[in-house]
Amino acid sequence: MNQLPLVSICCLAYNHEKYIKACLESFLFQIISFKIEILIHDDASSDNTSRIIRHYELKYPDLIKPIYQLENQYSKGIPVSKIYNFSRVKGKYIAICEGDDFWTDPYKLQKQVDILESNDNYGLVHGDCNFLYSNGREEKNVNKYSTKNVEYTTRNDIFNGLIAADYKIRTATVMFRKSLYDSISDKIDSVRGKFLMGDTPMWLLMISKYDFCYIDEVLAVYRFSANSASRPGNLEKKLRFKLSSAEMRIYFLKDYNKKIPENIKLIYNNALLNYKLFNNNYKEMYQLIDPQPIHLFINKYSKINWIRSILKLRTKPNYFKIIISKLIK
């Protein structure tokens, strides 16, 4: 009788021929006392990614279990992780690492399993990571130096930190209980497609069920791409992503019947105005949340942006009048 894996590693790959080897090798060099499985989904890569994965599959047939797509599924709006990876999971725990990232600590999985096995109150364990830029520059301990000096001791603290983007969860460092994912799966389906970011909504749903544990050690490297979903190079897409991020935070605050902080309102209003203005969509520019006085925007954001906005709006006097009346109490 074959022993079931304790941990299922879920990996998404797409045109990662330069990086997938380092990713897979980082899985294979884990020093562990339990069985694992490596579930890989190659989303119809047009480079040599699938060929490299097949090489490892032939070498480790009992360990590496790939799916090779002939047509790109992500572009069709299919929830790839849920349909093609999470549905195959046999392990008690799930670890995530995309094909262009990699783990640096050979004891990463063992440390996280030890924590989860001995602490029933923890549903997710994550840690620090380094950023690796396309020019070769590496930024170390990104959590240590980007997270505000706040002590997160309760689930509510972490929820608020996630909402404010002060509490950072780097996906490549995460391990969580399969049962936790199952308990929020339907809710994930209900918010999927509403927002451009995929992971933060999942963390916000998970923190409502279990405590999180943070390991203050570098566990992985995240390859920082200027054209990633969260950091698109195109200005229009960048503005849309910022608005979607703000919309997501408003959504979860309302869903959990929490008061919307003034700084979140300000971020949302600014993102809305910038995106609608960029697209000349003046009709929706005044759909603000409890608009603050205009001087708050000017103090918080660039005066140049506001001058540019007003100059554009002056050819639309009706909308200019509406937006100013909304902003000035």
Angle made by CA atoms 158, 10, 177, in degrees to the nearest 5:
45
Contact, 99 vs 190, CB < 8 A?
no
Residues 187 and 165: their CA atoms lie apart, in Å, by: 21
Q: So what's the pLDDT on residue 150?
A: 63
Q: Quick one: pLDDT at residue 27?
A: 98
Residue numbers of the chain with a pLDDT score lower than 70: 1-2, 145-150, 225-233, 281-287, 290-329
pTM: 0.85
Q: Which residues contact 49 (CB under 8 A, 6 or more apart)?
A: 13, 14, 15, 16, 17, 20, 42, 99
CA 141 to chain centre: 18
Q: What is the DSSP string of 232-258?
A: -SSHHHHHHHHHHHHHHHHHHHHHTT-
For residues 12 and 81, the answer to whether their CB atoms sit within 8 Å is yes
- Cα 274 from Cα 309, distance rounded (Å): 8
* pLDDT for the residue numbered 229: 46
Q: Which residues pair with 118 in a beta bridge?
A: none
Compute CA distances 287 → 29, 47, 81, 246, 320, whole Å: 52, 44, 34, 14, 13
Let me know: does 40 contact 13? Beta carbons within 8 Å.
yes
Looking at residue 39, its pLDDT comes to: 98
Q: Could you tell me which residues are beta bridge partners of residue 124?
A: 176, 212
Spatial separation of the C-alpha atoms in residues 252 and 264, rounded to whole Å: 12
- Using alpha carbons only, give the angle 241, 23, 55 rounded to the nearest 5 degrees: 125
Q: What is the pLDDT of residues 131-140, one digit of tens each?
A: 999 888 999 9
State the Cα–Cα distance between residues 197 and 186, nearest whole angstrom: 17
The closest of 180, 175, 177, 32 to 97, measured between CA atoms, is 175
Q: How many CB atoms lie within 10 A of CB 120?
A: 10
Look at residue 227 in the predicted model and tell me its pLDDT: 44
Q: Pairing between strand 175-177 and 93-96?
A: antiparallel
- Answer yes or no: are the C-beta atoms of 136 and 189 closer than 8 Å: no
